[in-house]
């Protein structure tokens, strides 16, 4: 059976990819590939039944990441303007 492995490099949030993988068997939480058990959900990547599910998951994850970065940027910009406004 086929599954779709979606991963996005977590540290830099880049190099997103979806790979079609041949799976030997599966349970609710694991898949077996070449005799080795892999968790369906992990920090490394996730397995999905369809390419569209994998794509949607990547989109959602990246949108969340971007939103978090946007919040951090706004906070850093406020600190910058506060520093610029300082007087002796």
pLDDT of residue 43: 84
Handedness of CA 23, 26, 29, 33 (dihedral sign): negative
Q: Which SS3 state, helix, strand or coil, does residue 46 take?
A: strand
Residues of the chain with pLDDT > 70, as a percent, come to 95
CB-neighbour burial class of residue 74 (10 A; exposed 0-12, middle 13-18, buried 19+): exposed
Domain ranges of the chain: 2-84
Distance, CA of 23 to CA of 37 (rounded, Å):
10
15-57 per-position pLDDT tens digit: 889 999 999 999 999 999 999 999 999 988 999 999 999 999 9
Q: Rg of the chain over CA atoms, in angstroms? A: 19
């Amino acid at each position: 059976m086929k599954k779709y492995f979606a991963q996005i490099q977590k540290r830099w949030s880049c190099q997103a990819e979806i790979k079609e993988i041949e799976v030997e068997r599966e349970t609710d939480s694991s898949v077996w590939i070449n005799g080795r058990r892999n968790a369906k959900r992990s920090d490394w990547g996730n397995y999905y039944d369809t390419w569209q599910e994998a794509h949607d998951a990547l989109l959602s994850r990246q949108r969340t990441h971007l939103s978090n970065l946007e919040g951090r940027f706004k906070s850093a910009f406020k600190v910058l303007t506060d520093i610029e406004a300082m007087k002796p």
